[in-house]
């Protein structure tokens, strides 16, 4: 399939789904499809494919066991785990002096807390209704975990970009985490409560509409679907256009050469990464070039043969600890500088992969290491993955995954969005999540369950509102723990 066709399929999907029309809910909407009943345009072919028809009607039948409206419910159980206790449990395997930064960052706002509380929400999601249908979950699909990056073919793509928690699990969990993050972010920004609810419904409505249209594609067309720069431009023609264009321009300017100029002490010779403690620093007690060299050899063996040959042209020059994000703070995370020659750098991020927060609720991965789990999940979910994505381990028993630090990576600053920006961005995230789920799940069956009304959209938005309230209560618990001295937080870092 040529690039135009590949892009066109998705452009048609996302472009038309950017503002799905609201439809009145009624119980007989989207009835089971008999052989004689003409299906929706997106599902043309159901009548001639008994297998797909059966999957569609099986999804429709799931509504009897798990009504779509049941997803609206959220109430904190009397035996709900203590959220601060769950965070303390995670801290036992992390670098102690960096955990204080994690607590400080999470204390800043409800949205910051939400970003770091994936384990807390996983425990809560395990108590909510589920159809029992699984996909490869992103695992932490909040709105700050989507963004831009370069494919190996040098296309700029928009997709899910964090897979530390990926595992197969109920598709509804990713949708609920995305929708709740929209509401929590909107409240943190001071938007009207109705703005957050509207944006959450838009995200879920787009997820539903995209899933429905993906269900009508041939298998290969679905697999090749992607959201590229042209696609983003087609979405960014409204009031949020300035935001989208700025992030695209920023991403195209951020590569290894840019990192060489901004994070090292010089462009020539053997430059060293400049310390900026506590966020970037050399920590020989944790890692040095000699120790990382062993991991590099093991990691290289997980790459495709052509990537292994490419990596052999570089030599490891320097490595430093780098604090990233919110939820990952305290894990062993490094930035490695490699050179093929003067002014010819490659920056790799080496991130510790611990057990997924979903593991205790959906079961352990069948893969040999958590690094391999992250890489395998990312390759399944993303339309295309980083050329240097691979995994490894250390003699200390820790698992790691590797990827480029900067390769046209662009993040949308959710904490600075206007209501209209968040609305359009939420739609784009909903589209990306639907495409991601369709790669490992069954969009035909899910479409049968979701239907063509907005019943599911409204239910998830109601859940998101209630869970945003829960997040604010949990943040209050964390702040109380800091105030009492139960935990120590380093603020403003």
pLDDT for res 254: 84
Statement: residue 35 has pLDDT above 50: no
Between the two ends of the chain, the Cα-to-Cα distance in Å is: 47
pLDDT per residue as tens digits for the range 317-359: 999 999 999 999 999 999 999 999 999 999 999 999 999 999 9
Residue 413: C-alpha distances to residues 23, 110, 390 (Å):
32, 16, 27
- Token pair 């959201």 is at which residue? 227
Find the helix or strand (DSSP H, E) in which 317 lies. strand 315-322
Whether residue 235 contacts residue 416, with contact meaning beta carbons closer than 8 Å, is answered with: no
Arithmetic mean of pLDDT, 155-164:
96
Report yes or no: 327 and 352 within 8 Å, Cβ to Cβ: no
What's the predicted TM-score (pTM) here?
Answer: 0.92
Phi, psi of 412 (to 5 degrees): -90, 125
Angle at CA of residue 33, ends 439 and 453, nearest 5°: 70
Question: Would you state the pLDDT for residue 48?
Answer: 76
Higher-confidence residue of 11 and 463: namely: 463
Which residue is it, tokens 């993955």? Answer: 385
Mean pLDDT (whole number) for 453-458? 98
Predicted confidence at residue 407, as pLDDT, reads 84
**Percent above pLDDT 70 for the chain:** 89
What CA–CA distance (Å, rounded) separates 256 from 262? 10
pLDDT value for 30: 57
At residue 7 the predicted structure's pLDDT band, cuts being 50, 70 and 90, is very low
CB 115 within 8 A of CB 125: no
pLDDT value of residue 238:
76
Reported as a pLDDT band with limits 50, 70 and 90, residue 255 is confident
**375-411 per-position pLDDT tens digit:** 999 999 999 999 999 999 987 889 999 999 988 999 9
Task: Give the per-residue pLDDT at 37.
Answer: 44
Q: With CA atoms as reference, report the closest residue to 361 among 172, 179, 167.
A: 167
Distance CA 25, CA 456 (A): 10
Token pair in block for residue 224: 């090749």
Q: What percent of the chain has pLDDT over 90?
A: 80
What are the tens digits of pLDDT across the range 184-217?
A: 999 999 999 999 999 999 999 999 999 999 999 9
Between 257 and 236, the higher pLDDT residue: 257
* Tokens coding 454: 């907005």
Q: How remote is the C-alpha of 63 from its chain's centroid?
A: 27
**Integer Cα distance of 220 and 391 in angstroms:** 28
Contact 7, 221 (CB under 8 A): no
pLDDT attached to residue 41: 58
Cβ atoms 399, 393 nearer than 8 A = yes
Q: Is 18 helix (H, G, I), strand (E, B) or coil?
A: coil
Residue 176: Cβ within 10 Å count: 24
What is the per-residue DSSP string for 337-383?
EEEEETTEEEEEEEEE----TTHHHH---SSS-HHHHHHHHHHHHSS
**pLDDT digits over 68-108, tens only?**
999 999 999 999 999 999 999 999 999 999 999 999 999 99
């Amino acid at each position: 399939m040529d690039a135009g066709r590949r892009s066109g399929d998705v452009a048609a999907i996302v472009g038309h789904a950017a503002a799905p029309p609201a439809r009145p809910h009624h119980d007989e909407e989207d009835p089971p499809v008999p052989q004689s009943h003409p299906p929706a345009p997106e599902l043309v072919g159901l009548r001639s494919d008994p297998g797909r028809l059966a999957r569609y009607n099986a999804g429709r039948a799931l509504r009897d066991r798990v009504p779509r409206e049941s997803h609206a419910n959220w109430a904190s159980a009397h035996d709900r785990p203590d959220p601060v206790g769950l965070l303390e449990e995670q801290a036992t395997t992390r670098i102690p002096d960096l955990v204080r930064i994690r607590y400080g960052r999470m204390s800043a706002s409800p949205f910051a807390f939400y970003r770091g509380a994936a384990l807390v929400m996983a425990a809560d999601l395990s108590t909510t209704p589920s159809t029992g249908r699984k996909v490869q979950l992103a695992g932490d699909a909040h709105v700050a975990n989507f963004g831009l990056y370069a494919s190996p073919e040098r296309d700029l793509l928009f997709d899910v970009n964090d897979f530390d928690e990926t595992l197969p699990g109920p598709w509804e969990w990713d949708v609920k985490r995305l929708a709740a993050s929209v509401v929590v972010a909107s409240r943190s920004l001071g938007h009207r409560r109705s703005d957050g609810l509207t944006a959450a419904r838009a995200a879920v409505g787009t997820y539903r509409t995209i899933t429905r249209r993906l269900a009508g594609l041939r298998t290969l067309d679905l697999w090749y679907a992607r959201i590229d720069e042209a696609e983003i431009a087609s979405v960014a023609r409204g009031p949020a256009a300035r935001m989208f264009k700025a992030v695209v321009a920023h991403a195209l300017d951020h590569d290894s050469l840019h990192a060489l100029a901004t994070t090292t002490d010089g462009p020539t010779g053997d430059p060293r990464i400049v310390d900026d403690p506590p966020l970037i620093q050399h920590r020989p007690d944790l890692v040095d070039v000699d120790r990382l060299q062993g991991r590099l050899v093991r990691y290289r063996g997980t790459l495709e043969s052509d990537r292994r040959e490419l990596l052999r042209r570089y030599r490891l020059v320097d490595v430093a600890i780098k604090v990233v994000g919110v939820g990952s703070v305290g894990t062993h995370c490094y930035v490695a500088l490699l050179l093929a020659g003067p002014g010819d750098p490659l920056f790799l991020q080496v991130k510790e992969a611990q057990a997924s927060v979903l593991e205790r609720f959906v079961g352990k991965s069948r893969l040999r290491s958590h690094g391999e789990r992250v890489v395998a999940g990312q390759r399944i979910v993303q339309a295309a993955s980083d050329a240097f994505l691979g995994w490894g381990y250390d003699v200390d028993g820790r698992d790691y995954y590797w990827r480029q630090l900067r390769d046209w990576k662009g993040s949308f600053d959710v904490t600075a969005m206007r209501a209209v920006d968040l609305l359009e961005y939420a739609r784009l995230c909903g589209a990306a999540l639907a495409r991601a789920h369709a790669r490992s799940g069954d969009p035909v069956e899910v479409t049968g369950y979701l239907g063509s009304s907005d019943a599911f959209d409204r239910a998830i938005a109601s859940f998101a509102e209630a869970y945003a309230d829960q997040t604010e209560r949990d943040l209050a618990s964390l702040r109380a723990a800091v105030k009492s001295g139960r935990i120590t937080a380093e603020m403003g870092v």
